[in-house]
Amino acid sequence: MSTPSIHCLKPSPLHLPSGIPGSPGRQRRHTLPANEFRCLTPEDAAGVFEIEREAFISVSGNCPLNLDEVQHFLTLCPELSLGWFVEGRLVAFIIGSLWDEERLTQESLTLHRPGGHTAHLHALAVHRSFRQQGKGSVLLWRYLQHAGGQPAVRRAVLMCEDALVPFYQRFGFHPAGPCAVVVGSLTFTEMHCSLRGHAALRRNSDR
C-alpha cells in the first residue's frame, strides 16, 4: 500500500470573520518558523495524543481518539489533519477523515471512507499553555479553508456538546439535530458546514 503524500501549507493570509483573533505575528527571527501550519504524520501521533488526553479527560473523562486511532487516521488520511506548530512545538491540532453518509453513525468514529465527500472532524484540541489565545478559532478557520480546497471534500461535519454549538456556528456550521453517536452518558449535537465558501477564500488567499 502506498503511503499518502503529506501536504505542507504555504504561508498565506488568513481571512478570518470579525471577532476571531488573528494568529500572533512573528516577533523575531528564529531557526524554526515562529508559526507553521502543516498536515500531521504518524510521527506526530504521540504529541497529538498527549494534548488530546489532557484536554478531554479533564473535561469529559473520554478522549475522542485513542493513540492507535490517532496513528490510524494519520496513516490513512494525513491530508485531513492540520497541526499548528510554534517554533517546532505542536500546540494545537485537528484530525479528520472522510465520511460517505448524510449523518454520523457509531462507525464514523473509527472509519475513513476514501470515496466520501464529507470531512468528519474527530478532534480539535489546544495545548493547555496556549489556551485562551484564540488559537482554536484560527486553526479551525484555516482547516476549513484547507479542506475546502480539496476537490473531493464538499462539506464538514462534527459532533459537539450543546455548550459548544454557538462556537461552531461562528464558522458556518449549522445544527443538524441530535447526533446518533453516544459516548458513555454523553450526548451530542451534529453540526454541518458547506465548504464552498471556504474553498473560495482559499483560492483568493493563494493569489
Q: Which of 127, 168, 198, 201 is catalytic?
A: 168
Cβ-contact 123, 160 below 8 angstroms: no
Q: Which of 121, 124, 144, 195 is catalytic?
A: 124
Q: Does the active-site annotation cover 122?
A: yes
Q: Does the active-site annotation cover 143?
A: no
Q: Does the active-site annotation cover 112?
A: no
Q: Which of 72, 112, 120, 122 is catalytic?
A: 122
Q: Which of 9, 14, 16, 111 is catalytic?
A: 111
Q: Which of 23, 97, 108, 137 is catalytic?
A: 97
Q: What are the grid coordinates assigned to 167, written together? A: 462556537
Q: Does the active-site annotation cover 124?
A: yes
Residues annotated as catalytic are 97, 111, 122, 124, 168
